[in-house]
Amino acid sequence: MALAGKSPPPPPPPPPASAPNVEPLNADPNVHWFAAWHEQTAPAPADFYPVPSNVGGVPFMQTQLNASAAIPKPLGIRVETPLSTTDANSLFNSKYPMPSGPKAISYVFGAIDTGTSAAQTTIIKNLVSQVRGSTWSKNAYVGQSDLVPLSSPDNFRRGPLFFTESQYKDAKVNMANTELYPGDSTNRNKSTNDWANANIRTGLFVAPVGRMTAVQDKLDSSYKGTETLTLALDRHKQIPYVTRFNNWGNSSLDTDQNPANGYAFVPGAPLNNGYVNLTPAQTANQMMGQGDFSAQIFHYRSRGAYSVKLFSESAAQTAVVGYTGAQAEQDVRDGWFGGGAPIGPGTPAGTGLGPIAHANNIFGQTDNKRATMTLNPIIDGTSANAGMRAEQTGTLWSGVYSLSLKQLDILASNLDTSNHLIKFGTVDVYDVFCVKNGSGYTYADNANVLSMGRNALVEAGMHRLLQFDLVTTRVYNSQADYLALNSKYSTKTIWLLNQNYVVFNNNNRNDVGIPEPTTFGILAAAGSLGMICRRHRSKKTA
């Protein structure tokens, strides 16, 4: 009789799946995802992914995460109160759709809003530890509102920083959620009599771009921020909070000086706030328009922002009377990639994207680069008063270029009440020229005349998108030589203007601003705002 052999041992269990990398929010020309404060439930509108808050409880959050993963959209959450170990394990160890789906939470937005900066840093540090110690969402980007790596205030700030760079490092976050709120009490402005331009709207526009630039400069120099599209724990990203207007707690922009009705800023009303005494004519047309907000979004992207998180109260209302969260979402799309209704002449037939789509294509190239980070542009022939030219003139420019495409797109914005000429100088190693004739020739600067060969006109209150091609052509020594088509020229490779569009011109600058409303009414007889029920959000005091 033969003896039966032993059964073979069972095969070893498969190795556990490694935690996935985070999902991109910004990649090729067709990948662009944004978050919004009021968008917590799936599916959320086009181009926006839901970010449920733990105020609603973990079951609510996971219902939205499962639904969002199934669509599919990237997964993000907002943490407004400290997470218990049990809740953190449930959120960050789960695969979505549950129980075994492939997706992990990719973006964790800390929104701790009470306590000292040290106390908030401790909470966020623990949150980072919970994420990094998880089995499935350990690679997520984690940040906290306004926790940025600055060791000293940006040039447009009033007062000290709430958080410091040492706290940014100590918390071990890798996402800078800069608060870029036009109307914020921490921004210098004409309304506080410490702004080098006579108009309120120049401060509303320029100061947030300046703050975003300061943060990105630091990310670039110390946190591998130049690798904008590379997703890794040590490649820090800037995803700022953005909005068209938010003057919560800012009495300098409260035209009736009555905080009981919500710090209302009413363009065309007098403003006497203890800093300045402005007439109705001086406050008229001083609100940021919708197009201005879209232009800011373009500037943020051009200067290195990875995405944005819109701060808006709901789909029905924002901090500007009559301006909805849905409209704000569309303004974000328009500014970032040109999505939506035509926003300038030359719209490609059937696309509805407008000329910003041209820039979006450049952003989509693997060799795309930022054209500038300057806040001291050459305006009207001068760059005097270093560091303040954008503030003084309310004028700045940003852009993106690709040498493989041989294309450069520049957005030039002028929020002043006077026309300005902007000189773009050199991008990469090539000079930028703004005039060409039918043969594609141009001309250089005249030493004694502010010529248009190297300067572009941007009219008061306007935004212009200028599209350039990298070409080799004749550059005449002067405008006179150019007109005469004589032999006084050199053959050079340059950026030469191809198209010049007016964009983002949907700008009613007389809308009324109110901070973070939940309900509001307008007293028609008096033209003033009724009582506003305010929900405090992201306004920190040391």
pLDDT digits (tens, 9 = 90+) for 234-266: 999 999 999 999 999 999 999 999 878 778 999
Say how far apart CA 397 and CA 216 lie, in whole Å. 16
Say how far apart CA 330 and CA 328 lie, in whole Å. 5
Task: Retrieve residue 175's tokens.
Answer: 């996402």
Beta strand spans in 298-406 (E): 309-310, 369-370, 378-379, 395-402
Q: Name the residue among 429, 444, 435, 446 with its Cα closest to residue 496.
A: 435
Q: Name the residue among 106, 99, 39, 45 with its Cα closest to residue 76.
A: 106
Q: What is the CA radius of gyration of the chain?
A: 26
The pLDDT of residue 527: 34
pLDDT digits (tens, 9 = 90+) for 376-399: 999 999 887 767 899 999 999 999
Domains contained in the chain, CATH given:
35-352 (3.20.20), 357-503 (no CATH)
Mean pLDDT of the region 126-135:
98
- Res 353 pLDDT > 60: no
Compute CA 227 distance to the chain's CA centroid, rounded to the nearest angstrom.
17
Q: How many CB atoms lie within 10 A of CB 27?
A: 14
Q: Name the residue among 320, 166, 180 with its Cα closest to residue 241.
A: 180
Task: Retrieve residue 153's tokens.
Answer: 């205030």
The pLDDT of residue 283: 98
Runs of H (alpha helix) within 106-149:
117-132
- Res 277 pLDDT > 70: yes
Say how far apart CA 39 and CA 308 lie, in whole Å. 13
Q: Is 495 helix (H, G, I), strand (E, B) or coil?
A: strand
Q: Is 467 helix (H, G, I), strand (E, B) or coil?
A: strand
Poorest-pLDDT segment among 16-20, 80-84, 297-301, 524-528 = 524-528
Contacts of 139 (CB under 8 A, 6+ apart): 19, 20, 21, 22, 104, 106, 233
Mean pLDDT of the region 114-129:
98
Band of residue 105 on the pLDDT scale cut at 50, 70, 90? very high
